[in-house]
Amino acid sequence: MNRAQLKDILFKKRSVLCVGLDTDLTKIPKHLLGEEDPAFAFNKAIIDATKDFTVAYKINTAFYEAQGIKGWETMQKTLAHIPKDIFTIADAKRGDIGNTSEQYARTFFHTYPFDSVTIAPYMGADSVKPFLQFEGKWSIVLGLTSNAGSADFQLQHCGDELLYQKVLRTVASWGTPDNIMFVIGATRKEQLQEVRAMLPDHFFLVPGVGAQGGDVDTVCRAAFNKGAGLLINVSRGVIYAGNDGSFADKAYEEAKKYQQEMSVFF
């Protein structure tokens, strides 16, 4: 999915909502555990309930890889069930030496045809550039995250700037706003404004809204641009809004609320 197609989806739905499918078998409604594939039954119901308000689904691959072959099959079925006009993200946080990154890119762009994959840039250019060779695909690079441990490295000085600032400037030069996005945590509103000024045209994938303390209004005011330029991820706040037979209805209501908050910025 290219930038123009993605932008069209956002403006058509007046939404920047990304729903994270971090599907944990210990948290889904118990009545689904009798299904042949409980995780897929849950994902299918969530997707069907929220797709009208959602512009992207982010599959956190760890929750599927942990289940072995069955988990990979669940991920494949989930990906196939997502409507083609909705952006898909493999939240895999890959990144390794060149030939290994090339295989990771093939995994998530060909074998499992996601639109994008999250990447850890610590190993440098040769770990990121192989992902950029795939036309119509996106690399979503970790920039400034919202976890407590981000202070260990990201907020340390690197010459006359902070390390995350150096990472953002450097990685942005390897590609374009048409194939690189950045993960920018929603709980850091001051940095959101600063990063938007630094990267006026790039898309940001923004986690941290909802259970982690971020809010839609703050994120949109700080980082919305003329092309929207945001995908705001909400996982637990949507998919685990209910834990009984009405879980899909409750997910629908939460997704609708988020979309209504976002719509005023279009």
Looking at the annotation, which residues are catalytic?
93
Q: How far apart are CA 198 and CA 182, in angstroms?
A: 12
Q: How far apart are CA 237 and CA 242, in angstroms?
A: 9
Q: How far apart are CA 15 and CA 25, in angstroms?
A: 29
191 to 59, 152, 167, 187, 230: CA distances (angstroms): 26, 17, 14, 9, 15
Q: In 3-33, which positions are buried (b, 16+ CB within 10 angstroms) versus exposed (e)?
A: beebbebbeebbbbbbbbbbbeeeebbeebe
| DSSP symbol at 157 | E
Q: Collect all residues with Cβ–Cβ distance below 8 Å to 182 and sequence separation of at least 6.
A: 140, 141, 142, 143, 144, 168, 171, 172, 195, 199, 202, 203, 204, 205
The 3-state DSSP composition of the chain as helix, strand, coil percent (nearest 5) reads 45, 20, 35
Number of Cα atoms under 13 Å in the Cβ half of residue 111:
11
For residue 151 the two structure tokens come to 């202070």
Query: 106 with 77: CB under 8 angstroms?
Result: no
